Structure 1
């Protein structure tokens, strides 16, 4: 069998390294158009190819495709994999065009091919805990929330020919950070029903967004405000933060912590409070590389490819995996936000 990784950049290298640990180096191949990248990985002992059709014809039994290429190429590559009936994993965002995403969804449904999208933050233990608090109503009904994703991706104007400064090429914080925080909000609070006011700010980019502020409502009636910023100089790396108001408490959650502040007059007794506020623990993984969430995500995809469970942690909810339908819905919301922000 062979798992084919398409794209040897940062994410491609990460996925290739993890796949190697789960299925073995002899069962992993890389396809990349850059000669130097192919040479490097060939020296490391991997089968490498410049063309996907050549790769498919020469590898032993293609069982899975991992797509970690620039976003404009996601749609044709995913269409190719689905057309061959091979399970595929597509990094976020799914595509840059909601119509292309919808076409992929229809094609995958017709072919019966499973497609997973790289919304890795679903696997972070603190966000799993927040989702449980919302769904279980242990803190009473949820009233409202604020969510943010901030980082320092852009700290100066991008080069004129850089994709990062071109929204249509996949640049801007809405394309870079937006898929993660939009999917995470839907995963935790339920489907977004309506996007309200949207405000776009440009700090360094002339043809893309550096910051997006918006308000929206969910199908279940809950409301939220979201901030997306990829040029925040106070952040060393990307940070996601939620502040959620419940009837009995307020909760602050980030990538590594859950903090509960009990409201005055809270009716939950002390014993129950201690039970609810138990410290979170990272999930167990078969191999750790750069965060449990990346291993968990690949365990699910590779398990789909080989036809057996690879996860060693039974506590991960069965509905955690982001499917093609989730990616398509995120692309629809991004399209709506972009139009309201004047990016389209």
Structure 2
């Protein structure tokens, strides 16, 4: 029997399904892994079904041994990331790896070797990851917080991967944090006073989004997002096509009382998105909507009840970020969302993030509302040999 490791490129729809299915095998005994919906996961890896491919190129690889799949990896290039300033983390010559899973370290090394070679062949000089596929999707390797399941749109990984990656000499270049918050408790008195002062300020108006004007509201949020995050490490602008696609996918999770836009003198300057934790209903489905999963999911989406609410995105326009007004608007939006999450959705826990470890403004806000870090994700980099 051939026990050699073979690394094979994925070139077919069946190969993409096998790529997704391997994760079910790899995490079969992990009580905290949450399987994505299979069709959705395959679509994210398929050109024409994921708008990322309008500016990105990817090659998936499967590791085979003794006739079975024993690992997977994606090597990819984001052509928008290549145009970003190098001091912001990406830039010219930067390629990526992601969707990294393997049965053992030797297989993991073979997969990383193959991803590196593919990127070198494409003219890349540096590899960064894991990022799967976009920084807006599931960036980073989970290195702290393996003892509880991730919330919606966050990843979960075997803790042994950290040792494998660091043993190759890859360097951690940035940590991403998520913060856990007991939302049943009111915020500290100082934060409450800041919120009350904002509510008395006639210049400030914090409003819910209007779902009947979904495209217009999404355009407002995109404009604030691309401005607010433009100086952040790892920033890659989100395109109109990506926003439209994300909006279509998330529209069932968009509830007007959980997404806010803050205006100052009538100008939209900040936003915050809160989502009920879809993973709570997805976890028992194990990626399958049939035979009865679709009915359970549809019922939940009509009247969602969730213990956890996640804040995946928040932003304040760049010109206000150093001002007291920025934190005031953030506190107001967090408080309004907290109230609705408790009264309308039965939530008791919030999760904020991911947040860049050195984003002083967001870290200060998280500290002020007495949240605590519950998960840490790390992004690694390595220099590639010249072709």
Normalised TM-score (structure 1): 0.28
Q: Which has the higher contact order (CA 8 A, sep 6+)?
A: 2
